[in-house]
Amino acid sequence: MKKIVTIMVALAVLTAGFAFASGQQEAEVMKLSMGGSTTCEPIIRSAIEAYADVDPNAELSYEGTGSSVGVQSALDGVYDLGGASRDLKSKESSAGAVATPIALDGIAVVANNSVGIDNISLEDLAKIYSGEIKNWSEVGGADVAIVVINRDEASGTRAAFGELVVEKALGKGTEYLKEAITVESNGDMVTKVGSTPDSIGFCGLGYVDKAISGGAKALLVEGAEPTVDNILTGAYKISRKLNIVSKGEPAGNAKVFIDYLLSDAGQSIVEDEGFIALP
């Protein structure tokens, strides 16, 4: 019996060695679970599709759950990487979150086509979102109530807009209008603004075309159009970085995918999706 067992073990070792020598050993599949910012979503999803040309066996996924969920899920290990369309909060950095910028973005102000103005100041915009201005006639439009549409509290775009517009114009700690309609994504925002007369909202630059095709328009802010050139020159004031977030410095498969996003191929995807490649 002992002799039989010895022979079987020897055969197993020989078979494994033959499979290895023949290149039949199964390669490790690259897997990444990602999620977070809906602004980052079109970039990451397109990058996932394009990455199939690099590694057809890679298993990559992204869920549009909002920036705050993306960051926290990366810290909790639910996601390997989180998308965030805002800077990290101090408590997130203290918990080990590391943000790597992958693109630049402007936050476009969109209004329903029924709105009779095409330009707005930062201060008036802030007052609309704080509830101080309630009628379009107060900013040069018709005598009709303003329908304010905001993002949900998990949204990085909401947080960035609050910091870059509301708090910048009216002071830190200024709160949003509580009666605003709330939507959960950039896509929902442009759809809601396009279908709601007298409404105003905001979205990532990559969603402007969808807003325009759906019955909305992009307002000039302080006379500047939300374009790539105006954002790069600083003429358009409402801009931010888009980030991919890891727990600790990115390593392994996470670093491989981030490096792809930062490569020429990845930055071309950024531009193709209507955002701005890193300088």
Q: What distance in Å separates the CA atoms of residue 223 and residue 236, rounded to the nearest whole number?
A: 8
Question: What pLDDT was estimated at residue 26?
Answer: 53
In the chain, the percentage of residues whose pLDDT exceeds 90 is 89
Residue whose pair of structure tokens reads 């439009």 in the numeric block: 141
Long-range contacts of 88-94 (CB under 8 A, 24+ apart): 88/243, 88/245
Q: Report d(CA 132, CA 169) in Å as an integer.
A: 13
Q: Which residues contact 246 (CB under 8 A, 6 or more apart)?
A: 74, 80, 81, 82, 97, 98, 100, 254, 258
The domains located in the chain, with CATH, are 31-104+241-272 (3.40.190.10), 105-239 (3.40.190.10)
Q: What is the pLDDT of residues 215-256, one digit of tens each?
A: 999 999 999 999 999 999 999 999 999 999 999 999 999 999
CA 222 remoteness from chain centre:
25
Which band of pLDDT confidence, cut at 50, 70 and 90, is reported for residue 28?
Answer: confident
How many angstroms separate the CA atoms of 157 and 62, rounded? 18
The residues, any chain, with a CB within 8 Å of residue 56's CB and separated by 6 or more, are none
In the predicted model, what is the mean pLDDT of the chain? Answer: 91
pLDDT at 196 over 60: yes
pTM of the model: 0.80
pLDDT tens-digit profile of 78-127? 999 999 999 999 999 999 999 999 999 999 999 999 999 999 999 999 99
**Distance of alpha carbon 33 from the chain centroid:** 15
